[in-house]
Amino acid sequence: MTAGDEQVDSKLKRLAAETESLGASARFSSRVMQSLPSVTPSGIWTDVTASARWLMPAFALAAVVAVVWAVSSEELNTELLASTETAEIEW
């Protein structure tokens, strides 16, 4: 390191010392904390329930389709049963 470099370094050290008293203002920490976005806790269960929320309409539709199918197949079964009973009488 040359004498010129030492002069540069000593000037930087002086300026560092003279600016050492600078810092954040009194309310800086509370300002930062207020600016943080609200974040919900994460984890596997919160992820699962969050994903499940999007599937609820599909599940509801599937349930309606299942009920309609069950009712219609019940009617079909009744008809089939009736025809079977008839067959039994014939037998």
Partner 1 sequence: MGAFQSIVEQTGDMLVRLSARMLGNVTDAEDVVQEAFVKAYQALVADEFDGRSSVKTWLYRIVTNASLDALRKRKRKAEVGDDVLTDLPGGSDAAQLEARMALRELSDYLDGLPEDQRTAIILKGVEGLTTGEVAAIMETTEGAVEQRLVRARATLRSKRSET
Q: Write out the residues near partner 1 by the rule CB under 8 A.
A: 2, 4-5, 7-9, 11-13, 15-16, 18-26, 28-29, 31-33, 35-37, 39, 42
Q: 52 in helix, strand or coil?
A: helix
| Cβ atoms 55, 49 nearer than 8 A | no
Which CB atom, from 20 or from 75, has the smaller least distance to partner 1?
Answer: 20
CB of 54 to partner 1, least distance (A): 20
CB of 41 to partner 1, least distance (A): 9
